Amino acid sequence: MSKCEIKNSLWFVLADGIRIYFSNIDKFVLYMLFPVFGQILGLSLAFGLTVGLADKIAQRATSLSSSLLLVFLLAIPGLLIFIKAFWDYMVAYVALNSMTEGALTTGKVYDFQSHREVATRRFFKFIGLLMVVGILTAIGSSIFFIIPAFVLWIYLILVFQVFTFEPDLTIKECFYRSFEIVKGDWLRTFILMVVLVFLTMFLITEGVSVIFDYLNLTSPLSHAFDFITNPIPLDNINRILVHFGKPIITPEIISGWIFYSLISWIVAGLTLPVRSICWTLWYANLSELKSVPQDKKCKKEKE
């Protein structure tokens, strides 16, 4: 296998992406702490205050409108924290690409604000991009469009990299450019996505779950969600399940699902840098591969 073939293999991209991540792991983890845990904190604060004080509000409020107003006021601090953290998480989709470029050119990751400006200085275009991604995701989640939407999304998976490194393109052109880059390499891009999801999300989540189980922490931590699951009316659902010979669902089971989902979400958030780094490298390699004939590029590297 020639040197250029190795460089443009997905395994090279994966290995190089992991190397860059662990070389700067302290910076990447620090950058993702608030976007990930800020969302959890915000929702917990908003939900905890409104649910926890709902009875007292109902007792003291003079009308339904005043009760709703008090609930809304209690939820505001948590919602503000959540919105700020969620925005930072969305910005990370392009800021991390810029950080990867900085790591490749200087060997270091620093000055987070300058990388964030890749999105913030093109605020309205970035908002437009997110809206289009959200609309396509909503359409693709329909059972009638799951398969074609999945195939299309692989073609569009580099849209955030295109937005980052080709700032003159319009939103429409960003999607078209991603399609052009991936065209002819759909299968390799799909394999890279599967490997990244398996390594950075499933495998780590399972590992964390095993650690919690070994330390006997899963059950007590899951019970923290009992205040959500206990009020759920499960009798009718369980009667149907029993009728079909299926195991019943208990509040404890649902609490366990919530806890596992939370762990999965935290892992996915904290490992976003690994995926962004690899997709940035993949974008760079495919862009170069499509713009320069393979024989000329190999000859240039050999020289």
pLDDT (tens digit per residue) in 13-27: 899 999 999 888 888
Q: What is the pTM of this model?
A: 0.84
Whether the predicted pLDDT of 107 surpasses 50? yes
Whether the predicted pLDDT of 3 surpasses 70? no
289 vs 258, residue with greater confidence: 258
Predicted pLDDT at 190: 94
Predicted pLDDT at 299: 47
Predicted pLDDT at 136: 84
109 vs 91, residue with greater confidence: 91
Whether the predicted pLDDT of 59 surpasses 60? yes
Ranges 198-202, 242-246, 258-262: which has the least confidence: 242-246
Average pLDDT, the chain: 84
User: Measured between alpha carbons, how far is 37 from 259 in angstroms, rounded to an integer?
Assistant: 15
Q: What is the pLDDT of residues 160-194, one digit of tens each?
A: 999 999 999 999 999 999 999 999 899 999 999 99
CA nearest to 196, candidates 139, 105, 258, 267: 267
Q: Residue with structure tokens 């997905």?
A: 10
Predicted pLDDT at 264: 92
Whether the predicted pLDDT of 68 surpasses 90? no
Tokens of 116: 């964030």
Whether the predicted pLDDT of 198 surpasses 70? yes
- What does the radius of gyration of the chain's CA atoms come to, in whole angstroms? 23
Q: How confident is the model at residue 7 (pLDDT cuts 50, 70, 90)?
A: low
Predicted pLDDT at 263: 92
Tokens of 238: 């369980």
Give 54: exposed, middle or buried? Use CB within 10 Å, 0-12, 13-18, 19+.
middle
Q: Residue with structure tokens 């393109």?
A: 169
Tokens of 254: 């649902």
- Residues 32/272, Cβ–Cβ less than 8 Å: yes
Predicted pLDDT at 176: 94
- Residues 192/14, Cβ–Cβ less than 8 Å: yes
Tokens of 253: 């089971």
Measured distance between the N- and C-terminal CA atoms of the chain, rounded to whole angstroms: 17
Whether the predicted pLDDT of 210 surpasses 70? yes
Q: Residue with structure tokens 């979400």?
A: 265
CA nearest to 13, candidates 158, 150, 156: 158
User: What are the residue ranges spanned by the domains of the chain?
Assistant: 122-183
Mean pLDDT of the 46-59 span: 70
Q: What is the pLDDT of residues 71-103, one digit of tens each?
A: 777 888 899 999 999 999 999 999 999 999 888
Q: What is the pLDDT of residues 132-156, one digit of tens each?
A: 998 888 887 777 778 888 888 899 9
